[in-house]
Amino acid sequence: MGKLPKIISAEEFETLFTHVRKLRVITKTKRKKQVLNQYMIAMLLGFEAGMRISEIVGYKINGNWKIKPLSQEQIEGAAIRIISGKGQKDRIVPRPKRFNEKAVKQLPLFINRRALQHFITKIGKQVLKKHITFHTLRHGFCTHLINMGRPLHEVQMLAGHSRLDTTGIYLHANPKKAIEGAREVFEQ
């Protein structure tokens, strides 16, 4: 079994999200407010849709788009159609309920992936007192679904994992819940 992923809980995500919302309110410049708003959109897509950073802001190699940024055309009602950065496979992910029409109209996001990554790591240390990356949001998405009882094969499909054992690492991310569950089985 590989290394367990770093995760954040739904409560920790809400704490981060609320912190960024407050930053946006107290920020004086219009440009900084726009950047914070786009960071919030990216955070929602990472945690509540399980999207990779490259699927949100795109990825260039030698000036050419290897993965294009998320566009308005990819929003399909309650779902988002994305082209995965891994293997260029289409997949459907849930559209976060807070990802409203106003947020959709801001697509594509024009934010630097490294700046977004740095921002998430910085607020993780400030607010949660722990080291996180943007990918930690995606790990949180998968773990939250598993903890809420979603079947492993559904989480695999939503995460875009080609192998079930890749998704299986999220079963081990909450040892306390696993121990409680095992004890319940034998309490008779």
pLDDT in tens, 32-42: 999 999 999 99
Which of the residues are catalytic? 52, 86, 135, 138, 161, 170
Rounded CA gap, 181 and 99, in Å? 34
- For the chain, what are the domain ranges? 10-137
pLDDT band at 154 (very low <50, low <70, confident <90, very high): confident
Does residue 166 have a pLDDT over 60? Answer: yes
Amino acid at 62: N
**What pLDDT is stored for residue 175 in this prediction?**
60
**What pLDDT is stored for residue 130 in this prediction?**
95
CB 141, CB 94: distance < 8 Å:
no
For the whole prediction, is pTM greater than 0.75?
A: yes
Q: Which of 14-23, 111-120, 136-145 is predicted with the least confidence, judged by mean pLDDT?
A: 136-145
pLDDT band at 137 (very low <50, low <70, confident <90, very high): very high
DSSP H helical ranges for 9-133: 10-26, 30-48, 53-57, 101-104, 113-123
Q: If 0-12 CB within 10 Å is exposed, 13-18 middle and 19+ buried, where does residue 135 land? A: middle
Instruction: Tell me what the pLDDT averaged over the chain comes to.
Output: 88
pLDDT in tens, 39-73: 999 999 999 999 999 999 998 889 888 889 999 99
Residue 118: count of CB within 10 angstroms of its CB: 13
Rounded CA gap, 131 and 51, in Å? 19
**What pLDDT is stored for residue 84 in this prediction?**
61
Residue 78, token pair as written in the block: 């309650």
Rounded CA gap, 175 and 177, in Å? 5
